[in-house]
Amino acid sequence: MRTADLERIRTLQLFSGMAEARFNELTSGAYLQNFPGGTTLMYEGDPVDFLYILMEGSVELQGTWNDKETTLAILRPISTFILAAVVLDANALMSARTLEKSQILMIPAEGFRRIMNEDPIFAVAVAREVSGCYRGLVRSIKNQKLRNGAERLANYLLTQQVRQGGAAIITLPHEKRTLASLLGMTAENLSRAFASLADYGVEVNGPEVKITRPVPLKRLAKPNPLLDNHAPPGAGLTGKAAKEMWPPANCLSGAA
Amino acid sequence: MRTADLERIRTLQLFSGMAEARFNELTSGAYLQNFPGGTTLMYEGDPVDFLYILMEGSVELQGTWNDKETTLAILRPISTFILAAVVLDANALMSARTLEKSQILMIPAEGFRRIMNEDPIFAVAVAREVSGCYRGLVRSIKNQKLRNGAERLANYLLTQQVRQGGAAIITLPHEKRTLASLLGMTAENLSRAFASLADYGVEVNGPEVKITRPVPLKRLAKPNPLLDNHAPPGAGLTGKAAKEMWPPANCLSGAA
DNA sequence: CGGATATTTGAAATCTCTCAACGACAGTGG
DNA sequence: CCACTGTCGTTGAGAGATTTCAAATATCCG
């Protein structure tokens, strides 16, 4: 593994507090792999042998039932995934596949758990990381159960706007059908939802979306820090300080 | 606090591994409180000063947006709640209120975090506990996004049947409107969903539900361990062994 | 018993999905 | 260069699911 990559993940809150020796031990058995787009890294129900860390590209987490599938999250670097399954040595509840050419670090789950048991600082960091993921999911369920399709889209657009720097024109980071699945609707319905937001100053040109009248759009969307993940997971803020940072000034990741 | 109560929570996986002295320190500042039904213990957005442990009764976790509210989970003893917020020292994302007269142990969050930092075994136990909660939420989102109302109800009934011992007649543990909110539908729709399940041998008499033809009902419901929490959180099974225990033989809790 | 709350039922409105067709576009191979 | 092909996105129409509003029971509790 390249030293530069190691340094990148070393800065993650998950690893930043642990002793150098333990970090080296943890990463010595790790693989840094390149995958083309559309590669399924793991299927629902599979035993989980690695903790995955997305370094480059993007990864979709999805769930399936009865020949239907839905996108649960779309990850951007740098994000860990299937951490909870690794902690519990359980089977995956979600499939994972690359949406584009991606570079992924794979840390053997066995060693991860061993070091979690040996290094108290790391164990606390794991607890905090999983807690952050948990809270992301709580927001996701509330978003899904309390808002209709157009409201979810409007809030998605406002969240993206914040993450992309606040300019009026944003770029959709994924295919629209993937976005539709993430938002819990069909591709056709997403298209209609975009059309319905035209009344609120949303102009769509392919992957470019222009928000011309943010005030009425916000009046419709009613964004709320208790439902919207304006900061991506791992943005680094926890604790009381996190209360004051919404909406955050700088968020580059497109994670869901 | 009564010794009997302390012994009960001592047996939870979350606390069972920690040193006696630390456990005593953790619980020395705790309150055991009785609340009548319908008491709101905390509102969304509130700072979280305690970890709550439900000892008796039942508690509803709910989310609100734009004058609508939804039930995210219904807890039964013995369950912890708002653990993730305590770990991160963050504000609550869910409101909590008692559905009936309940006894709740409140552990000061400050001391909880301090001991989590001092006791490596406890830190790992927290990581595992939060991971289990996380996986419960993943199932919940998949259930919500992939199934329609009647399918969610059918699976709920089958899950309850397992948890209540497998007999043909089960008792709904909550009011129907609460159940409707948990299942992500209106009370009227739940009533219609019950009516539609009559074709599959579901007979409703007030809170009693008789499942006369489980085979067709299962053919409709398609229960799946990747979506259904047949075991309540904290049932005690983790690791590879958990794969073999579905559906589990004994599940007494009614947690969602 | 009386009053409040829950539940059920009906009817209409709204939202969402499915199916089908169409146009735009990129890549392929002649 | 140009059909051919496949994917993606959009649009329309109809079906289905869900919600809303209203009214009619049913149930619970003092």
Preceding peptide of A104 cis, ω within 30°? no
SS3 label, residue A159: helix
Q: Which nucleotide is nearest to A148 (CA to C1')?
A: C15
Do B18 and B114 belong together in one domain?
A: yes
Do A136 and A152 belong together in one domain?
A: no
Residue B256 has pLDDT above 70, yes or no: no
B/e letters for A34-66, b = 16+ CB within 10 Å, e = fewer, are: ebeeebebbebeeebebbbbbbebbbbbbbbbe
Do A37 and A85 belong together in one domain?
A: yes
In chain A, which stretches have pLDDT less than 70? Answer: 1, 231-256
DSSP state of A197: G
Average pLDDT for chain B: 90
Residue numbers in B 191-210, CB below 7 Å of strand D: 192-193, 206
* Final residue in a domain of this structure, among B109, B142, B175: B142
* Positions on chain C within 7 A of a protein C-beta: 6-11, 15-20
Q: CB-based contact (8 Å) between A169 and chain B?
A: no
Is B135's CB less than 7 Å from nucleic acid strand C?
no
Q: CB-based contact (8 Å) between A116 and chain B?
A: yes
Are residues A144 and B140, on separate chains, in Cβ contact within 8 Å? no
Instruction: Give A206 CA → D1 C1' in Å.
Output: 28
Residue B174: which CATH number? 1.10.10.10
pLDDT of residue B3: 84
CB A155 within 8 A of CB A39: no
Residue numbers in A 162-201, CB below 7 Å of strand D: 175-177, 187-188, 190-192, 194-195
Instruction: Give B177 CA → C3 C1' in Å.
Output: 21
Do A159 and A79 belong together in one domain?
A: no
Q: In angstroms, rounded to a whole number, what is the distance separating the alpha carbons of residues B63 and B45?
A: 10
**Count of structural domains, chain B:** 2
Q: Which tokens go with B182? A: 């948990």
Do B137 and B168 belong together in one domain?
A: no
Selecting from A44, A66, A134 the residue whose C-beta is nearest the C-beta of B130 gives: A134
Do B29 and B128 belong together in one domain?
A: yes
B250 inside domain: no
Backbone φ/ψ region at A206: left (φ over 0), alpha (ψ -120 to 50), beta: left
Is B146's CB less than 7 Å from nucleic acid strand C?
no
Do B138 and B217 belong together in one domain?
A: no
* Positions on chain D within 7 A of a protein C-beta: 8-13, 17-22, 27-28
Q: What are B2-15's pLDDT values in tens digits?
A: 788 899 999 999 99
Q: Which of B104, B84, B103 is nearest to B94 (CA)?
A: B84
pLDDT of residue B233: 54
Q: Residue range B245-255: average pLDDT?
A: 32
Residue B250 has pLDDT above 80, yes or no: no
Q: Residue A126: which residues within 8 A CB-CB, separation 6 or more? A: A14, A83, A87, A116, B127
A251 inside domain: no
CB burial of residue A208 (10 Å; 0-12, 13-18, 19+): exposed
B154 inside domain: yes
Do A136 and A26 belong together in one domain?
A: yes
Q: Residue range B123-146: average pLDDT?
A: 98
Backbone angles phi, psi at B210, to 5 degrees: -110, 125
Do B23 and B54 belong together in one domain?
A: yes
Is A218's CB less than 7 Å from nucleic acid strand D?
no
Q: Which residue is nearest to nucleotide D21 (CA to C1')?
A: B188
B254 inside domain: no
CB B95 within 8 A of CB B61: yes
Lowest mean pLDDT among B56-70, B106-120, B157-171, B231-245: B231-245
B255 inside domain: no
Which residue of B67, B121, B135, B238 is the best one to mutate when testing the A interface, meaning the one whose CB has the most A CBs within 10 A?
Answer: B135
Residue A88: which CATH number? 2.60.120.10
* pLDDT tier for residue B231 given thresholds of 50, 70 and 90: low
Q: Which residue range(s) make up the domain with A217? A: 147-223
A93 inside domain: yes
Residue B138 has pLDDT above 70, yes or no: yes
Selecting from A64, A90, A242 the residue whose C-beta is nearest the C-beta of B242 gives: A90
Do A115 and A151 belong together in one domain?
A: no
Residue B67 has pLDDT above 70, yes or no: yes
Q: CB-based contact (8 Å) between B141 and chain A?
A: yes
Q: In angstroms, rounded to a whole number, what is the distance separating the alpha carbons of residues B28 and B256?
A: 30
Are residues A63 and B145, on separate chains, in Cβ contact within 8 Å? yes
Which residue of B43, B44, B65, B122 is the best one to mutate when testing the A interface, meaning the one whose CB has the most A CBs within 10 A?
Answer: B65
Question: Residues 175 to 234 of B: which have CB under 8 A from any A CB?
Answer: 184, 222, 224, 226-227
- β-pair partners for B53: B80, B105
Do A182 and A68 belong together in one domain?
A: no
CB A96 within 8 A of CB A82: yes
Instruction: Please give the full DSSP string across chain B, using - where no structure is assigned.
Output: --HHHHHHHHTSHHHHTS-HHHHHHHHHT-EEEEE-TT-EEE-TT-B--EEEEEEES-EEEEEEETTEEEEEEEE-SSEEESHHHHHHT-B-SSEEEESSSEEEEEEEHHHHHHHHHH-HHHHHHHHHHHHHHHHHHHHHHHHHHHS-HHHHHHHHHHHHHHHTTS-SEEE-SS-HHHHHHHTTS-HHHHHHHHHHGGGGTEEEETTEEEES-HHHHHHHH---TTT---SPTTSS--SGGGGGGSS-S-------
Q: In angstroms, rounded to a whole number, what is the distance separating the alpha carbons of residues B114 and A23?
A: 24
DSSP H or E stretch at residue A158: helix A149-163
β-strands A169-171, B40-42 pairing: unpaired
Residue B180 has pLDDT above 60, yes or no: yes
Q: Which nucleotide is nearest to B188 (CA to C1')?
A: C8
pLDDT of residue A243: 43
First to last CA, chain B: 28
Q: Residue B170: which residues within 8 A CB-CB, separation 6 or more? A: B157, B160, B161, B164, B208, B209, B210, B211
* pLDDT tier for residue B251 given thresholds of 50, 70 and 90: very low
A246 inside domain: no
Q: Which of A198, A195, A148 is nearest to A176 (CA)?
A: A195
A134 inside domain: yes
Do A89 and A214 belong together in one domain?
A: no
Residue B235 has pLDDT above 80, yes or no: no
pLDDT of residue A130: 98
Instruction: Give A195 CA → D5 C1' in Å.
Output: 30
CB A36 within 8 A of CB A10: no
* Final residue in a domain of this structure, among B142, B167, B186: B142
pLDDT of residue B232: 61
Contacts of A243 in chain B (CB under 8 A): 90-91
